[in-house]
Structure 1
Amino acid sequence: MTIVLEPVDDQLPIDFHQLELDARAGGHANMTRLSAEFAEAPSMFHRVIAAHVDGVLAGIGAITDEPVPSTQPAWRMRRLYVHRDFRRRRVARTIVADLLRAPAGEIEIVTVHAGSDDAARFWEAIGFDAVAGQGWSHQRRLRSA
């Protein structure tokens, strides 16, 4: 299995609707939010990356400025979703690794808001620390430039 990453610049992938349907079927609204945000304000995203496996859109993720005021510049990893047929195949890890390269040298902290215990376990397994008293659930410190 080969994961092919493609930056999303002008429009969401043509097969994005299938990913959105899968997310909705699983009770998640984050793909619907991504679609609306991307249509309304694409410049809010520093990077959006789509992952394809065998030509099929397997997942997507994005990174933006941290929307909650912070004592230091931070970016938020958001709208990460992997189709249920492609989970546990390193798709999410591959997307996250790519997105973490975007802020390298620009900011020190990348945040996430885990929406479930499963998501929290995922973020912790890939090096994000749980935090309390912030507008996000987990963060990862990057090396300063």
Structure 2
Amino acid sequence: MIQLIRIIDDLPDGFDALLADAASEGVGNMARLAEGWTGGGQRFDGDGEALLGALLAGELAGIGGLSVEPAADEPARRVRRFYVRPTFRRQGVARTLAAALVQEALDQVDLLTCNAAASPAAAPFWEAQGFSPDDTGPWTHVLRRSAS
């Protein structure tokens, strides 16, 4: 069973292994997360921000953040620092983590953005979550809350 945790004070146990996995794949967003967290520049603790960890069998399997999107012309959030360790892929971790971030964002605003340029699998993944390609800002994809 996948357990989601809100990361508040410290990066969770297992982050070093996640960081090493990301680096071995040439994905730099976990190193940027560590730098921002330790330096205090990005702690995901502002209004509308969150950092979630996904645990599978008690082990940190993935992480994803939500921040304010300053480049949008309307209130918006951005999914950022999203990564799932290779050994935990294809087990629903990314979908579960993404769904929680999307729900949290769209409970606050109508527009959610992400940059799916990190890997060839990123764009198809985010499109499967309902995002559409969009090049009107410093993002690659957007998801807009549908009118109800």
TM-score, normalised on structure 2? 0.89
Provide the C-alpha distance between the structure 1 equivalents of 2:4 and 2:54, rounded to a whole number of angstroms. Answer: 5
Match of 2:77 among 70, 75, 78: 75
Count how many residue pairs are aligned between Structure 1 and Structure 2.
143
Identical amino acids, percent of aligned pairs: 37
CA deviation map 1:54-90 (0-9, x unaligned): 11110000000114x2211111001110000011111
Mind listing any 5+ residue stretches in structure 2 that lack a counterpart? none
SS of 1:49's equivalent in the other structure is strand
RMSD: 1.6
Correspondence list, 1:9-88, <5 A = 9-39=8-38, 40-41=40-41, 42=43, 43-44=45-46, 46-67=49-70, 69-88=71-90
Provide the C-alpha distance between the structure 2 equivalents of 1:124 and 1:78, rounded to a whole number of angstroms. Answer: 16
Assess if the C-alpha contact under 8 Å between 1:107 and 1:144 holds in 2: no
Mind listing any 5+ residue stretches in structure 1 that lack a counterpart? none
CA deviation map 1:13-38 (0-9, x unaligned): 02100000000001111111111112
Provide the C-alpha distance between the structure 1 equivalents of 2:136 and 2:49, rounded to a whole number of angstroms. Answer: 26
- Say which is worse superposed, 134-143 or 12-21, in terms of deviation: 134-143
1:132 Cα offset (Å): 2.2
1:144 Cα offset (Å): 6.3
1:105 Cα offset (Å): 3.5
SS of 1:48's equivalent in the other structure is strand
1:48 Cα offset (Å): 0.6
Provide the C-alpha distance between the structure 2 equivalents of 1:7 and 1:144, rounded to a whole number of angstroms. Answer: 29
